[in-house]
Amino acid sequence: ARSRTPPPKLPRYVRVNTLKATVEQVEAALARVHPSVCRDPHVPALLRLPPGTDVHAHELVASGRAILQDKASCMPVLALRARPGWRCVDACAAPGNKTTQLAAAVGARGRIVAFERDARRAELLSRRVGEAGAHAIVEVRHADFLSARPADHRRVRALLVDPTCSGSGIVGRLGAPDEGESADTNGGDASAPAERIAALAAMQQRVLCHALSFPRATVVVYSTCSVHAAENEGVVAAALGAVAPLGWRLGVALPAWPRRGLPNAGVELSDELCARCVRCLPEDGCGGFFVARFERPAALRAAFT
Ligand code: SAM
């Protein structure tokens, strides 16, 4: 039997769905039952509760005004810096935590095409989008993102790539599954053997490079909830080598976040480029996560359309 490590006690996070409520409204409603609720210092519209607080059954959650989402899982959309009215693609979308967070960022004038290849998860995604009041912003497509034709998405400016990963950063993966994030990973496993990691990395790189081939895109954010460098800095290094001729470079993701990508991770990414990426760990009060931001100036983008 595998040894079981008790998961560290992390705060419970609640993201305010600003499509349906204000931060003040949700904070005040939660404070009536949980007086120690407070705002997260890094992520706007994220509220923090003591470890173990159970808010699953709260009316705010049932009504879609509050969404249970770990702090680390909020980072990729923050790193995308999407503006109201932007057209975006969420390449690997179910269950839709980041899709609905992005919907709140682009607002009523924005549009998101959200791909999900698994039928059951695509249904869950549609349901979550509806509950969040984002159905007019998000078009759910039950399809493999790799089959999407970039030329059919000429108005898309930003893409989010959060593919299936080993899930090795998920707190509780070696013990009891963490109910808040278990649906995010599609079967990740912290003890995945090297061959599985290599296969995942190859798939992640294909999905990332496909996103980077969208003709009018100026920003692509890549994320995993893995702690393995092969799925993170390694995928970024391989993709960067392939897409640099298209004008893409590695931007600085979330400059104010102190924990950066791993230097000397044994992958082909310089320490300076690793430092442009972001990592999160349980020591930061959230799950293990990795985020990288690819960007290119609009002028260079035009050269490839
Ligand atoms: N971004 C999601 C969220 O924040 O709620 C979590 C995404 S989960 C890590 C990865 C999802 O991508 C799974 O539901 C998986 O079925 C889907 N997926 C993986 N590869 C895909 C592909 N090529 N096209 C579409 N969906 C894909």
Q: How far is the CA of 59 from the centre of ligand 1 (A)?
A: 28
- Residue 174 pLDDT class (50, 70, 90 cuts): very low
Question: Is 38 one of the annotated binding-site residues?
Answer: no
Q: 185 CB less than 6 Å from ligand 1?
A: yes
User: What's the pLDDT at 9?
Assistant: 87
Q: 98 CB less than 6 Å from ligand 1?
A: yes
Clarify whether 209 is annotated catalytic. no
User: What's the pLDDT at 111?
Assistant: 98
Q: Which of 225, 274, 277, 280 is labelled catalytic?
A: 225
Q: For residue 185, which atom of ligand 1 is closest to its CA?
A: 9
Query: If you average pLDDT over each of 190-194, 254-258, 295-299, which comes out highest?
Result: 254-258
60: tokens are 């705010």
User: What's the pLDDT at 7?
Assistant: 60
| Cβ–Cβ < 8 Å for 37, 31 | yes
Cβ-based neighbours of 293, under 8 Å, separated by 6 or more: 79, 80, 219, 220, 221, 222, 250, 251, 252, 253, 276
Q: 184 CB less than 6 Å from ligand 1?
A: yes
User: What's the pLDDT at 181?
Assistant: 39
Q: How far is the CA of 235 from the centre of ligand 1 (A)?
A: 17
CATH assignment of 12-68?
3.30.70.1170
* Span 208-246, pLDDT tens digits: 999 999 999 999 999 999 999 999 999 999 999 999 889
* Domain covering 71-302: architecture: 3-Layer(aba) Sandwich (3.40)
- Residue 305 pLDDT class (50, 70, 90 cuts): low
User: Mean of the per-residue pLDDT values for the chain?
Assistant: 90
Instruction: Indicate the range of 3-12, 26-35, 129-138, 225-234 predicted with least confidence.
Output: 3-12
Please check the confidence at residue 185 and state whether its pLDDT lies above 60.
no
| Cβ–Cβ < 8 Å for 50, 12 | yes
Please check the confidence at residue 175 and state whether its pLDDT lies above 50.
no
User: What's the pLDDT at 302?
Assistant: 58
Cβ-based neighbours of 41, under 8 Å, separated by 6 or more: none
Smallest CA-to-CA distance from 190 within 154, 215, 166 is with: 166
Please check the confidence at residue 16 and state whether its pLDDT lies above 50.
yes
Rounded to two decimals, what is the model's pTM?
0.92
Q: How far is the CA of 27 from the centre of ligand 1 (A)?
A: 30
Place of tokens 């993102």: 145
What are the percentages of helix, strand and coil residues in the chain, rounded to 5?
35, 15, 50
Question: Maximum Cα–Cα distance for the chain, whole Å?
Answer: 56
- Residue 263 pLDDT class (50, 70, 90 cuts): confident
User: What's the pLDDT at 269?
Assistant: 87
Q: 207 CB less than 6 Å from ligand 1?
A: yes
- Residue 170 pLDDT class (50, 70, 90 cuts): confident
Q: For residue 188, which atom of ligand 1 is closest to its CA?
A: 9
User: What's the pLDDT at 149?
Assistant: 97
> Is the bond preceding residue 95 a cis peptide, omega within 30 degrees?
yes
Question: Is 40 one of the annotated binding-site residues?
Answer: no
Q: Tell which one of 68, 90, 92 to mutate to probe ligand 1, the residue whose CB is within 8 A of the most ligand atoms.
A: 92
Instruction: Count Cα neighbours of 229 within 13 Å in the Cβ-side half-sphere.
Output: 13
Q: 115 CB less than 6 Å from ligand 1?
A: yes
Please check the confidence at residue 190 and state whether its pLDDT lies above 90.
no
User: What's the pLDDT at 171?
Assistant: 78
109: tokens are 């004038």
- Complex prediction ipTM: 0.99
Q: 144 CB less than 6 Å from ligand 1?
A: yes
Which conformational region is residue 3 in: left (phi greater than 0), alpha (psi within -120 to 50 degrees), or beta?
beta
Question: Is 144 one of the annotated binding-site residues?
Answer: yes
Q: Tell which one of 144, 164, 181 to mutate to probe ligand 1, the residue whose CB is within 8 A of the most ligand atoms.
A: 164
| Cβ–Cβ < 8 Å for 80, 160 | yes
Q: 100 CB less than 6 Å from ligand 1?
A: no
| Cβ–Cβ < 8 Å for 158, 82 | yes
Query: Domain locations in the chain?
Result: 12-68, 71-302
How far is residue 95's CA from residue 180's CA, in Å, rounded to a whole number?
11
